[in-house]
Structure 1
Amino acid sequence: MKILFVQDSLGTGGAERSNANLWYYLRSQGVDLSIVVLEHRKEGIEQEILGEGFPVIFLKKGSFLRNSREIAAIIKAYKPTVVHSTLIRSNLRVRLAKMFASFYHVESLVNCTYDPIRLQDPRVSKAGFYVYKYIDYFSRSRGVDHSIAITREVEKHYQRELGVPRERLSVIYRGRSGNDHLDTSTVSRMKFSAELGIHQDKVWLIHVGRQEFQKGHIYLLKALQQIHAENAAVWNKVAMVFCGRRGNASSDIDAFLEKHPALNQHIHWLGHRHDVPELLAASDVFVFPSLYEGLGGSLIEAQAAALPVVCSDIPVLHEVVNDGENALMFPATDAAALAEQITKVTQEPALRKNMSENSLKNFNKKFRLEKINEETLRFYKKVKTAASG
């Protein structure tokens, strides 16, 4: 079996990390794979993947059409059993490549792309939003043979928004490895306490995600501002750690903090980190205020680290966490409700302990990487039969 993967970059996102985990497994199972990438990224997994000896082809800079022709040429030379693309720029280019080469195309569907809440982002053009949706709709029927949705909610989203037939959709969750730092979390906490200047006896809140509108940083900052203004006891008990590269919401974050500089006393912006699993293991609570998601890979990593979760009450996250067991939910964009949930989990150590245990149980039950990888390989074997037919 030969699989050609095509994706936008080897950057910092959850899709990139999930594919990397899969590549290691497929290689161990003797699968012949090659990777095509649209562009270089300074931050992310690029150096790791190259260092591990995976065959990676970076496309030459050029137009959409030139990229598609180059992908088609690679396909003709490599002759893969299946071409698997991830993320929209790559998906569209591979679809067009079908005009120049014959192959079986599988796409990963990793987000609820046409959630109306995206139109609340001032950087999103309403006209562009719908034009893009129509392009997606009309190019999909001939350009895609099968799609893998990463949750049931994403599957339903594409059935509802683009009319994708059920028989051309499969659902395979993402998985993650277990957290290797759980047994040494006390040592890790001491290390990060010294590095970041955070007292060990505080309640460490942590968020992992790039600074994009989707991730809802502003609502978390508003919640922290409310706690700061109304509940000094809780404010003095917490420290907030943010991990993730800057993005389209960074200017909004900067402007908010300029208006509320006192928040910086308890907030730590770490940017992109390569030691996120250890940071998670050293923390106390994971906060995830996303406005929309396909799954939320960092939410899986938080559960692998046995962290209690405070997250948005959006449909897809009910597939990832269990409300009232390992997670406290709040209506998306409701900063006051988020502040209440942070206050609750901060003030109740027994609740945190119980939620912590439930998070690890949920991770082991649903998201262990070994199980997901085996399911994905079974899918490829099934596709091999369909492609050869």
Structure 2
Amino acid sequence: MVVVAVPMTVKAFLLPYLEQLAKVCHVTVVCAQEDGALREVLPAGVDFRPVDIRRAISPLADARALTGLIGLMRAEKFSLVHSVTPKAGLLSMLAALVSETPIRLHMFTGQVWATKRGVPRWVLKKLDALIALCATHVLADSRSQMAYLLSEKVVCSGKINVLGNGSISGVDLQRFRPDPELRRRVRSRLGYGDDDVLALFVGRLNRDKGVLDLVQAFLLASAEQGNLALLVVGPDEEGLRPVIEAMATGNSRLHLLGGTSTPEEYMAAADVFCLPSYREGFGSVIIEAAACGVPAIASAIYGLTDAVEDGKSGCLHPVGDVMRMARLLQQFAREPGLRTSMGAYARQRAMADFASGTVVAAQVEFITGLLGGALGGRVGAQE
């Protein structure tokens, strides 16, 4: 049984894993039913059970979801429950413990409390610790995140692991790859030629992603580097679009492009990828861009230090350091050789360490190892 909060997590990260896992056992996916499209994209052999798990705190809805999970687990008698994302982890690990599910696995993909202070940080951190306490096994999607969780005493060292080189799903090297023709088409559509240098951000627009820092750094850098442009791609979660537009008044080289289902198009067109986050579990978009041959400028925080090899596949900067970010943007804009050499190294590293097939194989091997010989029925369904 694989539990997440929303279908987007399944669609964005888990389909290759579910497809391979379904080849060795039956799989049930549980999440909120936000749309009717999830059943259509699930691989053969994967069942779906809707439970209204909400990302935001909602006591009544959370109680109903917990009750629903307990009922489902008791009825189906799963022997393994695998959760991803914080709310799904909390509810499913509690439900699995109450239901006496023998193998309870949670994967941490980042900590929402990492950037908070005071009581909110303490409460959210304790909830993550409760997830780890209820689980029998814990994974993190990066080694630096595992080190952070250990240092914060959220989980004990004998209980947590990282598979391979990390990442929740790796990168699809067929989808994310250098494509000169696609690069030309996208740049032409946006009004840019070969001499323009396109910096790219792909992700949710919120303050924790550091997008406002990036805009400020770009405005400083582009004032001196006229060939530099910035593409900001992603859904606006915190109403930042008017703020960004006000900041960039008079600058025609900053483009807010909204959400997309084809980030690989913009990555193929980009020259440098930017992720100035304040918190990340790993930073999957960085290795996707790397697979397209695009180096990164990213903040030196846990998670991103695994995704970027500083000085080789990109450059790291202190979190929130707008001036350092601006100088790096200028450097990449001025030095095509730097972009080429780091982009080539980034692609080789993505292919060697983070190919989706390699990451998924490690995950399936880990799961089947936990289950041992009990592979009949659904995922871990008891005989």
Q: Decide whether the 8 Å contact of 1:178 with 1:304 is kept in 2.
A: yes
Matching residue within 243, 249, 261 for 1:261: 249
Corresponding residue of 1:176: 171
Q: CA deviation at 1:100?
A: 4.1
What is the alpha-carbon distance in structure 2 between the residues aligned to residue 25 and residue 176 of structure 1?
15
Residues 299-338 of structure 1: matches in 2 within 5 Å? Answer: 299-338=286-325
Matching residue within 5, 12, 16 for 1:17: 12
Secondary structure, in 3 states, of the residue corresponding to 1:226? helix
1:241 aligns to 2:231 (yes or no): yes
Q: CA deviation at 1:54?
A: 4.3
What is the alpha-carbon distance in structure 1 between the residues aligned to residue 271 and residue 153 of structure 2?
40
Corresponding residue of 1:122: none
1:136 aligns to 2:128 (yes or no): yes
Residues 71 and 290 of structure 1: CA distance in aligned 2, closer, same or farther (over 3 Å): same
Residues 66-145 of structure 1: matches in 2 within 5 Å? Answer: 66-98=64-96, 100-103=98-101, 104-115=103-114, 117-119=115-117, 126-138=118-130, 140-141=132-133, 143-145=134-136
Q: CA deviation at 1:65?
A: 2.1
Q: CA deviation at 1:30?
A: 3.3
Residues matched between the structures, number: 365
1:363 aligns to 2:350 (yes or no): yes
Secondary structure, in 3 states, of the residue corresponding to 1:57? strand
Q: CA deviation at 1:299?
A: 0.7
**One-letter amino acid of the counterpart of residue 38, structure 1:** A
Q: CA deviation at 1:99?
A: 5.5
Q: Decide whether the 8 Å contact of 2:104 with 2:137 is kept in 1.
A: yes
User: What is the CA deviation profile of residues 282-336 of structure 1, one whole-angstrom value per residue up to 9, with x for unaligned ones?
Assistant: 2211111111211001011011111111111224322222111121222111111
Corresponding residue of 2:4: 7
Secondary structure, in 3 states, of the residue corresponding to 1:55? strand
Corresponding residue of 1:123: none
Residues 315 and 98 of structure 1: CA distance in aligned 2, closer, same or farther (over 3 Å): closer
Deviates more, 1:296-305 or 1:49-58: 49-58
What is the alpha-carbon distance in structure 2 between the residues aligned to residue 205 and residue 135 of structure 1?
37
**One-letter amino acid of the counterpart of residue 238, structure 1:** L
What is the alpha-carbon distance in structure 1 between the residues aligned to residue 270 and residue 39 of structure 2?
28
Q: Decide whether the 8 Å contact of 2:198 with 2:270 is kept in 1.
A: yes
Q: CA deviation at 1:147?
A: 0.7
Q: CA deviation at 1:347?
A: 0.5
Q: Decide whether the 8 Å contact of 2:308 with 2:315 is kept in 1.
A: no
User: What is the CA deviation profile of residues 118-172 of structure 1, one whole-angstrom value per residue up to 9, with x for unaligned ones?
Assistant: 34xxxxxx3222122233334642x211111111111122222234122211112
Q: CA deviation at 1:379?
A: 0.7
Q: Which structure has more RCO (C-alpha within 8 Å, separation ≥ 6)?
A: 2
Residues 99 and 364 of structure 1: CA distance in aligned 2, closer, same or farther (over 3 Å): closer
What is the alpha-carbon distance in structure 2 between the residues aligned to residue 345 and residue 134 of structure 1?
42
**One-letter amino acid of the counterpart of residue 298, structure 2:** C
What is the alpha-carbon distance in structure 2 between the residues aligned to residue 48 and residue 271 of structure 1?
25
User: What is the CA deviation profile of residues 339-388 of structure 1, one whole-angstrom value per residue up to 9, with x for unaligned ones?
Assistant: 10010011111111111110111112210111111111111122114999
Q: Decide whether the 8 Å contact of 2:292 with 2:347 is kept in 1.
A: yes
User: What is the CA deviation profile of residues 49-105 of structure 1, one whole-angstrom value per residue up to 9, with x for unaligned ones?
Assistant: 359784222215863222112112222233333110111111111133136412121
**One-letter amino acid of the counterpart of residue 49, structure 1:** V
Q: Decide whether the 8 Å contact of 1:9 with 1:41 is kept in 2.
A: no
- Unpaired runs of 5+ in structure 1? 120-125
| TM-score between the two structures when normalised by the length of structure 2 | 0.87
Residues 218 and 41 of structure 1: CA distance in aligned 2, closer, same or farther (over 3 Å): farther
Deviates more, 1:101-110 or 1:276-285: 276-285
Corresponding residue of 1:224: 218
Q: Decide whether the 8 Å contact of 1:219 with 1:289 is kept in 2.
A: yes
1:286 aligns to 2:273 (yes or no): yes
- Whichever structure has more helix as a proportion of its residues is 1
What is the alpha-carbon distance in structure 1 between the residues aligned to residue 373 and residue 63 of structure 2?
28
Q: Decide whether the 8 Å contact of 1:38 with 1:90 is kept in 2.
A: no
Corresponding residue of 1:202: 196
Matching residue within 209, 217, 224 for 1:215: 209
What is the alpha-carbon distance in structure 1 between the residues aligned to residue 315 and residue 363 of structure 2?
31
Q: CA deviation at 1:228?
A: 3.6
Residues 332 and 206 of structure 1: CA distance in aligned 2, closer, same or farther (over 3 Å): same
Q: CA deviation at 1:17?
A: 2.1
**One-letter amino acid of the counterpart of residue 132, structure 1:** L
| TM-score between the two structures when normalised by the length of structure 1 | 0.86
- Unpaired runs of 5+ in structure 2? 54-59, 375-379
Corresponding residue of 2:30: 36
Secondary structure, in 3 states, of the residue corresponding to 2:258? coil
User: What is the CA deviation profile of residues 162-217 of structure 1, one whole-angstrom value per residue up to 9, with x for unaligned ones?
Assistant: 3412221111212111144646x222123213432333431121111101222100
What is the alpha-carbon distance in structure 2 between the residues aligned to residue 37 and residue 344 of structure 1?
44
Secondary structure, in 3 states, of the residue corresponding to 1:261? coil
Q: CA RMSD in A?
A: 2.6
What is the alpha-carbon distance in structure 2 between the residues aligned to residue 382 and residue 313 of structure 1?
34
Secondary structure, in 3 states, of the residue corresponding to 1:286? strand
